[in-house]
């Protein structure tokens, strides 16, 4: 029996490939397996090859598997494009309708199952997906009945007959494969799982849940891949909390509308990807200069320009740290797991109000859209902190011409905050340099004081931020330290398991607080490692450069980079380590 | 109750002597006092340019934003606190060049704020370049041969974009302007007010005298009915949009906020931020 399985379904976009994967995954989740799913898709509504790769495991997984055990194909292109990924003795299940062929001389087994024909006999060719699911189940030696719960959940609304027909499609798909395999025991029988059903969600869902639980009550956003799910989730749920979402005319409106709302006392956010973030930069500068809280979620995708809109990349890093003109206080945090996406979204809202500045929550396409099981999200960890905001102050009447000192110079740099509508609290807000009351002032001593006040705010953040680096420090003086951020965590963790089997001592640091950089935390890790490899999805080693700039040790740090749009596989990092980077030595 | 004086903050504007914007400032102060507002209840959001400074010249919660983004900021403020009176103000460059996208969509969206465009048909603060409201043939530093682009027909555009309140006034007619602003603030929805506010330094064509000669008061047109959109459009066309007064008002259509699902009577800023455990578990269950 096997402890994990890699399964992929592929076909033309718009053909129900995604839902085929969803139903297969849901059934596996029902049995208590851990799952990790990743969709390959293109920027079009219909047509073009798409696939959904799902890893099934008896233990938690945060990365795709290197290869493939089962490939379900709805067209020949799926076989042609994905066959290289298949195990030598892997299995292809394909619709007999297109007369599938696999490369000559291959050890793989092909089951040409009449998906479409069986589905038509049952009344609708739409059910070919269910036939494929049933066929997959037979390979795993799974009883077709195991699908019943999920089928009735999915189709129950459409009536018993539809549920019954879909179950029949599954059973017939399974029966066909069983008849072909002539009673041979399955090589791909999975070890039983713990039977516990888990949350199965994409990173964007976790981030959205965090926003909602963290008190976000307004969102302004413009649709973009791979961020739109956040807006859609909030549109669905915010009205239950009195809040709302406005789909704006562009990202500049989205960011500034969120700024207006935050200024007036509502926790407001926007979410986008690279192109949208580029348009928001001036507004982010406004939030920094006016010390207005603002949370912006950047779900990174392939750049530059329109780039690879549906593909994985981590190339916005430098732009998120430095991408506004002038110098502002700004916080950039990067969740490295789906769970952290949830907690960090809550925290981003807190930090924005506590430090009165823009906070960028940096995700990437793989984390945002990768769908995985998680054990739990902890309600008790949700905490709402609003810093120096006073919503009901008892203020003395202002003298004629006097304003409240909204930008009062303080030791921490953080000033008392009121919202418009507060009695006796009038102050001015401007992106022009201003004095303590917010009135424009270009005087040199004032400029210096206000500039220093703003930048002083974040000085202590690296010490206060909970776990600025997600650490796995098994070893003292390791041979190797891996550093990454966001979704590379899973692939790095699995690479480490393999390297450790070869006797290497490997530590791992996934950077979570990107800016201000947690130098004090990271520097000693680099110091004690013999070699440091930074793994990231971009072509110019942006994270490595940030680390070198802050912590030094340039000669110790090398990079494994990927920028072809596909996520790192554990085997890939391992191979590169062996070939190119690691200098072996016993010392 | 607050008086006009209470809306003054003793800050000396950096506008040129004779600038039309002084009258806009005075009219906002008079209208707010006359409406019985308190300075604490007013948020005045402004854009960038000479006119953009206005939020610093009225005793109220002022927000001087970025160039062209006055409307999204103002809409965000109003969404957060519907009890505030939100007035947005900026120049014709701010609202009709760099911010045009927001202007059309704010008109369409119909959130209950008032937008005052201080229209001087020139870029003043950058010292005299053509604006989207400059007339064709207008000679500026950036159009030495005369502008070859026609000006934006703001009033017709507003009508065709679904505006529910469209008015135009002239800064030397403080009485009319004050009255228009009052009506705009009272209007339940987005109110657009264009104010001809001459730049005495850089616009030597569209001067006070020029406007006095060319503007027609709608009150002088017999049987003019501002609830008749067709008549409004026809009148604008007949007079090349050089009219003042309330051009069009739709009192039937509800404002954006009145139509938003789940939007409550209490301002959003007072909404509960904590989610109870039961609700949280319900949400979590949706993913299992």
Residue spans of the domains in chain B: they are 4-285
pLDDT digits (tens, 9 = 90+) for B4-24: 999 999 999 999 999 999 999
Alpha-carbon distance B43 to nearest alpha carbon in chain A (angstroms)? 7
B66 close to A (CB below 8 A): yes
List the alpha helices (DSSP H) in B151-255: 154-160, 174-186, 208-214, 229-238
DSSP for A290-326, written as a single string: HT--EEEEEEE-B-STT-BTTS-----HHHHHH-SSS
Compute how many other C-beta atoms are within 10 angstroms of the C-beta atom of residue A363.
32
Q: Cβ separation of B65 and A256 shorter than 8 Å? A: yes
Per-residue model confidence as pLDDT tens digits over A31-68: 999 999 999 988 888 889 999 999 999 999 999 999 99
Ordered DSSP codes for A380-395 = GG-----TTB-SS---
CA A581 from chain center: how many Å?
Answer: 28
Task: Identify which of A384, A427, A430 has the shortest CB distance to residue B274.
Answer: A384
Q: Which of B59, B69, B268 sits opposite A217 (nearest CB)?
A: B268
A239–B263 C-beta distance less than 8 A: yes
pLDDT in tens, A391-435: 999 999 999 989 999 999 999 999 999 999 999 999 999 999 999
The Cα A292–Cα A356 span in angstroms is 5
**Mean local confidence (pLDDT), A92-117:** 96
Distances (CA, A) of B237 to B156, B162, B194, B215: 8, 17, 16, 13
Q: B278 at the A interface (CB within 8 A)? A: no
B40 vs A: CB within 8 A: yes
| Statement: residue A256 has pLDDT above 70 | yes
Band of residue A582 on the pLDDT scale cut at 50, 70, 90: low
Kindly tell me if the per-residue pLDDT of A585 is higher than 70: no
Average pLDDT of the segment spanning A334-362 = 98
- The answer, yes or no, to whether residue A586 has pLDDT greater than 90, is no
Q: How far is CA A306 from the centre of its chain?
A: 19
pLDDT digits (tens, 9 = 90+) for A175-202: 999 999 877 778 899 999 999 999 999 9
Report how far residue A427's alpha carbon sits from residue A404's, in angstroms, rounded to the nearest whole number.
5
**For testing the chain A interface, which of B38, B44, B80 should be mutated: the one with the most A CBs within 10 Å?**
B80
* Residues on chain B touching A283 (C-beta within 8 angstroms): 66, 69
Residues of chain B contacting A440 with CB distance shorter than 8 Å: 53, 56, 64
Q: A433 in the Ramachandran plot: left (φ > 0), alpha (ψ -120 to 50) or beta? A: beta
- A15 pLDDT band (50/70/90 cuts)? confident
Mean pLDDT lowest for which of A11-20, A287-296, A443-452, B154-163?
A11-20
- A198: contact with B, CB 8 A cutoff: yes
- With CB atoms and an 8 Å threshold, state whether B79 touches A425: no
pLDDT of residue A46: 84
In chain B, which residues have their Cβ closer than 8 Å to the Cβ of A428? 55-56, 62-64
Window 188-217 of B, Cβ < 8 Å to A? none
Q: Does A266 touch chain B (CB under 8 A)?
A: yes
Contact B40 A265 (CB under 8 A): no
- Mean pLDDT of the region A201-208: 98
Q: Do B81 and A260 touch (CB under 8 A)?
A: no
Euclidean distance between CA atoms B250 and A249, whole angstroms: 24
Say if A377 is an interface residue toward chain B (CB within 8 Å).
yes
Contact in structure between B177 and B124 (CB atoms under 8 Å): no
What tens digit of pLDDT does each residue of A474-519 get? Answer: 999 999 999 999 999 999 999 999 999 999 999 999 999 999 999 9
Nearest to B262 among A242, A421, A429 (CB): A242
Chain B residues touching A422 at Cβ < 8 A = 40
Query: Closest Cα to residue A470, out of A451, A486, A456?
Result: A486
pLDDT tens-digit series, residues B23-45: 999 999 999 999 999 999 999 99
A250 in contact with B, Cβ within 8 Å: yes
SS3 A280: helix
Confidence of residue A581 (pLDDT cuts 50, 70, 90): low
Which domains does chain A possess?
4-197 (3.40.920.10), 201-381 (3.40.50.970), 469-581 (3.40.50.920)
Amino acid A587: pLDDT: 36
Q: What angle do CA B252, B258, B264 make, to 5 degrees?
A: 155
CA gap B280, B288 in Å, rounded: 13
Best residue in B264, B268, B285 for a mutation probing chain A (most A CBs within 10 Å):
B268
A188–chain B nearest CA distance, Å: 26
Which residues of chain B make contact with A238, given a CB cutoff of 8 A?
262
CA nearest to A432 within chain B = B64
Q: Which of A207, A232, A260, A285 to mutate to test the interface with B (most CBs of B within 10 A)?
A: A260
Which residues in chain B are closer than 8 Å to A391, comparing Cβ atoms? 269
Is B73 touching A (CB cutoff 8 A)? yes
- Amino acid A295: pLDDT: 98
Q: Taking residues A530-556, report their average pLDDT.
A: 96
Q: Does residue B133 have a pLDDT over 80?
A: yes
Chain B residue closest to A205 (CA)? B287
For residue A285, the distance in angstroms to the closest alpha carbon of chain B comes to 10
> Does B4-285 carry CATH code 3.40.50.970?
yes
Rounded to the nearest 10°, the torsion over CA B199, B204, B207, B211 is -120
Residue B102, chain A, CB below 8 Å: the answer is yes
**Inter-chain touch A243–B65, beta carbons under 8 Å:** no
pLDDT tens digit string along B54-104?
999 999 999 999 999 999 999 999 999 999 999 999 999 999 999 999 999
Average pLDDT over residues A562-570: 97
């Amino acid at each position: 029996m096997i402890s994990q399985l890699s399964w992929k379904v592929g076909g033309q976009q718009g053909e129900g490939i995604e839902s085929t994967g969803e139903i297969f995954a849901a059934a596996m989740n029902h049995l208590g397996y851990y799952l990790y799913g990743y969709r390959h898709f293109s920027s079009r509504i219909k047509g073009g090859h798409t696939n959904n790769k799902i890893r099934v495991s008896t233990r938690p997984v945060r990365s795709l598997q290197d290869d493939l055990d089962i490939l379900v194909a709805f067209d020949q292109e799926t076989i042609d494009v994905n066959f290289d990924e298949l195990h030598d003795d892997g299995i292809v299940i394909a619709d007999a309708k297109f007369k599938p062929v696999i490369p000559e001389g291959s050890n793989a087994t092909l089951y040409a199952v009449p998906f479409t024909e069986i589905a038509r006999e049952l009344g609708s060719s739409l059910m070919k997906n269910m036939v494929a699911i049933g066929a997959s189940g037979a390979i795993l030696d799974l009883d077709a009945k195991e699908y019943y719960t999920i089928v009735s959940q999915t189709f129950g609304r459409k009536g018993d007959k539809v549920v019954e027909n879909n179950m029949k499609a599954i059973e017939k798909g399974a029966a066909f494969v069983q008849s072909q395999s002539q009673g041979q025991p399955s090589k791909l029988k999975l070890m039983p799982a713990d039977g516990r059903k888990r949350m199965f969600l994409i990173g964007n869902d976790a981030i959205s849940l965090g926003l909602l639980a963290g008190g976000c009550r307004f969102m302004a956003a413009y649709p973009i891949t791979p961020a739109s799910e956040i807006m859609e989730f909030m549109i669905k749920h915010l009205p239950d909390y009195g809040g709302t979402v406005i789909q704006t005319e562009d990202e500049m409106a989205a960011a500034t509308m969120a700024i207006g709302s935050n200024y007036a006392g509502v926790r407001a956010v926007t979410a986008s990807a690279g192109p949208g973030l580029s348009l928001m930069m001036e507004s982010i500068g406004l939030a920094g200069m006016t010390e207005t809280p603002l949370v912006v979620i950047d779900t990174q995708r392939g750049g530059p320009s329109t780039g690879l809109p549906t593909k994985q990349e981590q190339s916005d890093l430098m732009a998120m740290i430095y991408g506004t003109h002038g110098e502002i206080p700004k916080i950039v945090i990067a969740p490295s797991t789906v769970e952290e996406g949830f907690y960090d979204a809550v925290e981003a809202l807190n930090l924005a109000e506590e430090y009165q500045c823009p906070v960028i929550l940096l995700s990437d396409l793989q984390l945002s859209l990768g769908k995985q099981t998680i054990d739990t999200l902890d309600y008790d960890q949700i905490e709402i902190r609003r810093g120096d905001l006073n919503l009901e102050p008892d203020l003395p009447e202002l003298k004629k011409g006097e304003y409240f000192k909204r930008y009062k110079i303080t030791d921490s740099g953080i000033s008392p905050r009121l919202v418009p509508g507060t009695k006796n609290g009038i102050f001015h807000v401007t992106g022009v340099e201003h004095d303590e009351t917010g009135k424009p002032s270009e005087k040199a001593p004032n400029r210096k004081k206000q500039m220093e006040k703003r930048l002083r705010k974040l000085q202590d953040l690296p010490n206060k931020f909970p776990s600025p680096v997600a650490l796995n420090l098994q070893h003292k003086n390791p041979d190797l330290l891996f550093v990454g951020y966001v979704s590379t965590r899973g692939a790095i963790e699995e690479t480490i398991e393999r390297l450790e089997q070869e006797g290497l001592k490997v530590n791992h640091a996934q950077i979570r607080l990107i800016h201000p950089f947690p130098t004090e935390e990271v520097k000693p890790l680099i110091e004690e490692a013999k070699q440091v490899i930074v793994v990231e999805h971009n072509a110019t080693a942006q994270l490595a450069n940030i680390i070198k700039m802050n912590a030094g040790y340039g000669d110790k740090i090398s990079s494994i980079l990927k920028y072809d749009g596909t996520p790192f596989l554990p085997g890939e990092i391992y191979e590169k380590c062996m070939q190119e980077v690691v200098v072996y030595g016993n010392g | 109750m607050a008086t006009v004086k209470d809306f003054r903050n003793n800050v000396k504007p950096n506008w040129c002597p004779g600038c039309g914007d002084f009258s806009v400032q005075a009219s906002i102060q008079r209208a707010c006092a006359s409406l019985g507002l308190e300075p604490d209840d007013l948020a005045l959001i402004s854009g960038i340019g000479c006119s953009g400074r206005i939020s610093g010249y009225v005793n109220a919660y002022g927000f001087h934003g970025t160039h062209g983004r006055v409307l999204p900021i103002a809409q965000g403020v109003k969404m957060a606190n519907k009890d505030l009176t939100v007035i947005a103000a900026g120049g014709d460059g701010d609202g009709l060049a760099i911010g045009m996208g927001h202007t059309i969509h704010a008109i369409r969206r119909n959130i209950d704020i008032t937008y005052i465009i201080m229209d001087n048909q020139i870029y003043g603060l950058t010292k005299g370049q053509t604006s989207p409201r400059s007339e064709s043939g207008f000679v500026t530093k950036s159009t030495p041969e005369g502008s070859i682009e026609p000006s934006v027909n703001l009033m017709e555009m507003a009508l065709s974009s679904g505006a529910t309140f469209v008015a135009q006034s002239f800064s030397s007619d403080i009485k009319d302007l004050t009255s228009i602003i009052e009506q705009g603030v009272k209007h339940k929805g987005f109110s657009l007010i264009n104010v001809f506010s001459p730049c005495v330094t850089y616009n030597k064509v569209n001067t006070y005298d020029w406007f006095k000669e060319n503007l027609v008061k709608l009150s002088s047109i017999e049987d003019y009915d501002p609830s008749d959109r067709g008549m409004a459009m026809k009148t604008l066309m007949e007079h090349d949009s050089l009219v003042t007064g309330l051009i069009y008002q739709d009192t039937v259509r509800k404002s954006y906020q009145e139509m938003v699902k789940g939007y409550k009577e209490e301002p959003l800023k007072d909404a509960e931020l904590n989610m109870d455990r039961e609700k949280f578990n319900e949400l979590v269950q949706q993913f299992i």
